[in-house]
């Protein structure tokens, strides 16, 4: 089941890992993405640490790690062609796979309805 962070990332389970990407809402508000700096695979980060840096014509946005874990795979396609995020942020726009260290942290993420309510309030 897809969940969201208050910082506009989506998270879905995939096997033992979690897929992470940017929400369509964030994509619409920062404009066309021109560059993304991704973490290295096997990097361990704590919740709130810098996960990736998005750059558009409007802004540079620091994406925070949604929970503590280890990056198991990055999406090489968006590393080479970040514009994929402009048209498919919640499908082909996977940033990375993360092995979550504490599965309880998923409880802090928002269900889709709660996320949608938060962006429209």
pLDDT tens for the chain, 121 residues: list them: 899 999 999 999 999 999 999 999 999 889 899 999 999 999 999 999 999 999 998 889 999 999 999 999 999 999 999 999 999 999 888 999 999 999 889 889 999 999 999 998 7
pLDDT computed for residue 93 by the predictor: 86
- pTM for this predicted structure: 0.92
Distances (CA, A) of 68 to 17, 47, 92: 12, 5, 23
Q: Which residues share a beta bridge with 13?
A: 18
pLDDT computed for residue 73 by the predictor: 97
pLDDT computed for residue 3 by the predictor: 96
Which CATH architecture fits 3-120? Beta Barrel (2.40)
Determine the 3-state secondary structure of 23 from DSSP. Answer: coil
Whole-number Å distance between alpha carbons of 55 and 108: 27
């Amino acid at each position: 089941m897809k969940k969201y962070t208050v910082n506009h990332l989506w998270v879905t389970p995939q096997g033992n890992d979690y897929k992470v990407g940017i929400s369509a809402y964030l994509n619409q508000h920062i404009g066309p993405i021109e560059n993304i700096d991704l973490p290295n695979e096997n990097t361990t980060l704590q919740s709130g640490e810098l996960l990736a840096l998005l750059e558009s014509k409007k802004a540079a946005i620091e994406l925070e790690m949604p929970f503590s874990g280890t990056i198991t795979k990055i999406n090489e396609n968006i590393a080479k062609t970040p514009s994929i995020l402009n048209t498919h942020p919640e499908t082909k726009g996977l940033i990375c796979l993360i092995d979550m260290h504490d599965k309880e942290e998923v409880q802090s993420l928002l269900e889709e309805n709660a996320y949608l309510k938060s962006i429209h309030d």
